[in-house]
């Protein structure tokens, strides 16, 4: 079996589609798809891109498919500081600034922070003090780390269970070998992780969203999140960015965040 055919079959399996279902969705014959997967037919560049789009394969992996098929990559990966991504960078800076005094952070697909506003730093310093710069930079690893924010999350089991299921879903979308799948596998080696996947399946309060309740020295901060991405990205870096904006879940938390911002000024 050809390498490109194997990769396409693996992605089809990841998406849990039969050959017939994928062929119908892509508008091609199932016989031709079978020939591609078994190496009896070499797919054209357009065919690879069509199947990748139909399978919702991430841009980074679409390049891998093209290389496996003997073609040059289609999608470039630019640094966020490069001139080409200046409009995206300005948009991110605008969102982070306008989110003040509430936290907002931009992360990559493995939840490593790329950009953050001052509110994120203020919250980190409140929780971790001098250790704020020493704790794991990865947001998810910090949630599962006793040296991170784990000890301060009041409803940790609910938050951790929801987070694990979210990572598992992201790992399934990104596919094998992705950074987020490696992160998920790393966290799942922890003794409590398998049981946590079934934790917090339902709400433990009357709020319409998952709250993250943080508490230290008698002071409590309750937040909820909204997550956004860039629409129809053609650059790998842009396609992999997630923007998480956090909001106070009650008036006391709103006053607390506002007071920290005023004190900083």
For residue 75, tell me if it sits in a domain: no
Tell whether the model's pLDDT for residue 82 goes beyond 90. yes
pLDDT tens, 172-203?
888 777 889 999 999 999 988 989 987 767 66
pLDDT tens, 127-164?
998 777 655 578 889 999 998 999 999 999 999 999 99
Same-domain status, 60 and 105: no
Placement of tokens 């939840």 in the chain: 111
Same-domain status, 255 and 210: yes
Q: What is the pLDDT of residue 8?
A: 96
Same-domain status, 104 and 16: no
Same-domain status, 92 and 11: no
Same-domain status, 18 and 145: no
What is the extent of the structural domain holding 34? 3-68
Please report, for the domain that includes residue 14, its CATH number: 1.10.260.40
Tell whether the model's pLDDT for residue 167 goes beyond 60. yes
Same-domain status, 148 and 244: yes
Same-domain status, 137 and 260: yes
Tell me which of 213 and 265 has the higher pLDDT. 213
Q: What is the pLDDT of residue 1?
A: 45
Tell whether the model's pLDDT for residue 57 goes beyond 60. yes
Same-domain status, 111 and 41: no
Same-domain status, 201 and 127: yes
DSSP E strand boundaries for the chain? 104-107, 113-116, 212-216, 219-228, 242-248
pLDDT tens, 212-250?
999 999 999 999 999 999 988 999 999 999 999 999 999
pLDDT band at 114 (very low <50, low <70, confident <90, very high): very high
How far is C-alpha 170 from the geometric centre of its chain's CA atoms?
6
Percent of the chain with pLDDT over 70: 95
For residue 257, tell me if it sits in a domain: yes
For residue 193, tell me if it sits in a domain: yes
Contact 33, 41 (CB under 8 A): no
- Boundary of a domain, candidates 15, 39, 68: 68
pLDDT tens, 16-55?
999 999 999 999 999 999 999 999 999 999 999 999 999 9
Domain count, the chain: 2
Contacts of 222 (CB under 8 A, 6+ apart): 211, 212, 213, 214, 248, 249, 250, 252, 253
Please report, for the domain that includes residue 165, its CATH number: 3.30.450.180
Same-domain status, 100 and 27: no
Q: What is the pLDDT of residue 165?
A: 92
Same-domain status, 196 and 124: yes
What is the pLDDT averaged over residues 105-127?
94
Q: What is the pLDDT of residue 204?
A: 62
Q: What is the pLDDT of residue 175?
A: 76
Same-domain status, 54 and 111: no
């Amino acid at each position: 079996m050809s390498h490109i055919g194997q990769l396409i079959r693996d992605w089809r399996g990841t998406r849990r589609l039969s050959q017939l279902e994928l062929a119908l969705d892509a508008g091609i014959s199932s016989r031709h798809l079978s020939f591609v997967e078994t190496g009896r037919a070499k797919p054209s560049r357009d065919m690879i891109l069509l199947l990748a789009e139909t399978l919702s394969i991430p841009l980074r992996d679409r390049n891998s498919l093209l290389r496996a098929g003997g073609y040059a990559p289609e999608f470039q990966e630019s640094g966020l500081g490069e001139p080409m991504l200046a409009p995206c960078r300005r948009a991110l800076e605008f969102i982070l600034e306008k989110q003040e005094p509430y936290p907002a952070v931009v992360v990559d697909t493995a939840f490593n922070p790329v950009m953050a506003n001052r509110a994120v730093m203020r919250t980190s310093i409140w929780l971790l003090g001098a250790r704020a710069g020493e704790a794991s930079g990865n947001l998810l690893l910090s949630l599962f780390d006793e040296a991170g924010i784990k000890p301060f999350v009041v409803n940790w089991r609910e938050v951790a269970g929801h987070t694990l299921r979210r990572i598992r879903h992201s790992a399934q979308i990104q596919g094998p070998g992705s950074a987020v799948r490696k992160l998920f596998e790393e966290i799942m080696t922890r003794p409590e992780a398998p049981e946590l996947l079934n934790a917090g399946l339902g709400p433990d309060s009357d709020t319409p969203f998952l709250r993250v309740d943080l508490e230290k020295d008698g002071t409590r901060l309750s937040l909820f999140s909204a997550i956004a991405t860039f629409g129809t990205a053609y650059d790998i870096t842009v396609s992999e960015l997630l923007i998480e904006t956090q909001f106070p879940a009650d008036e006391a938390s709103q006053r607390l965040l506002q007071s920290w911002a005023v004190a900083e000024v």
